[in-house]
Amino acid sequence: MWVAIAREMILVGMVLWKILVRSSAWSLLRPARSVFPGDLSQARTLPGAVRFQSRVRSSRRRNEMSWRCHGRDNAELVANLQRHYILTSPEAATAMLKIDRGHFVPDGSPYDDCPQSIGYGVTISAPHMHAYCVSMLADRLKPGMRVLDVGSGSGYLSAVFGIMVGENGKAVGVEVIPELVERSKRDIKRTPAGPLLEKGIIEIHAGDGKLGWPAGAPYDAIHVGAAASELPKELVKQLKPGGRMVVPVGSYAQDLVLLLSCTCIGFAPF
């Protein structure tokens, strides 16, 4: 076990070193336009507003492969994400097969592995980004668990989360654009997650994502759909001890994903 951990730490160091070589440390703190959906319009790396450690779970090679996962339909898209080892959770794959991405992309090519416009100046993230995030959170998306989707946008991931946590769980989405909230509810009803929405197991609310949704807390998992200049403290308060948060961080290239596991003294890698 310790050998495996040592190897992963070496890999993390190599990836971070390459990033620092390509750009100065200060450039990593510059705001950049977010390519993720949600209510946070600027993306930065987290400057450490909350004490935490991070673990990098993506490599340049895998990032390059991820953009080749286009499919002719939802089933082929999911299969390609699995074939390239991007979608690594069987439970996540099952949920993504049930929730057809095509229901959430009004125009464009829903099965292309790239962001697609969903109106109101917002995009739905590329399928490989969704696959990364759901796989990373899978251990905290088991039946009966609670999950918060910050910047829920189209509602696609909220629907996937709802399928994973099931009848005894709770999936809460928060989106700042009211029109998207209403449309996402209509689109979720077109999928197998529709009954979960009707029963209140899936909830989609209009609100400021940085504030989370305290009424549904605490959460086993929190997905943040946009990078932020600092980790919102309200979200930290709403994460269970032992819970998990995934936060996309970086510039246009989406180089890093920070994985944070809540402990009694702060955040630790997992």
Judgement on whether residues 125 and 162 belong to the same structural domain of the protein: yes
| Residue 153: both structure tokens together | 């946008």
Give the Cα separation of 146 and 161 in Å (integer): 9
Residue 251 has pLDDT above 70, yes or no: no
Rg (CA), the chain: 17
- Provide the number of structural domains found in the chain: 2
Give the pairing of strands 170-175 and 202-206: parallel
Judgement on whether residues 14 and 60 belong to the same structural domain of the protein: no
Could you read off the pLDDT of 207-231 as tens digits, one per residue? 999 899 999 999 999 999 876 666 7
CATH of the domain at 90: 3.40.50.150
Q: Where are the beta strands (DSSP E) in the chain?
A: 32-33, 42-43, 116-119, 122-124, 146-150, 170-175, 202-206, 219-224, 239-249, 256-262, 267-268
Judgement on whether residues 20 and 90 belong to the same structural domain of the protein: no
The predicted model gives 136-145 an average pLDDT of 96
Judgement on whether residues 204 and 217 belong to the same structural domain of the protein: yes
Judgement on whether residues 110 and 145 belong to the same structural domain of the protein: yes
Average pLDDT taken over every residue of the chain: 76
Judgement on whether residues 68 and 11 belong to the same structural domain of the protein: no
Judgement on whether residues 12 and 37 belong to the same structural domain of the protein: no
Active site residues: 125
Q: Is 198 exposed, middle or buried (0-12, 13-18, 19+ CB in 10 A)?
A: exposed
Judgement on whether residues 11 and 69 belong to the same structural domain of the protein: no
Range of the domain at 205: 31-268
| Of 114, 109, 108, nearest in space to 127 by CA | 114
N- to C-terminal Cα separation, the chain: 13
Q: How confident is the model at residue 58 (pLDDT cuts 50, 70, 90)?
A: very low
In this structure, of 56-70, 82-96, 174-188, the range with the lowest mean pLDDT score is: 56-70
- Cβ neighbours of 103 (radius 10 Å): 20
Judgement on whether residues 6 and 37 belong to the same structural domain of the protein: no
Could you read off the pLDDT of 111-124 as tens digits, one per residue? 999 899 999 989 99
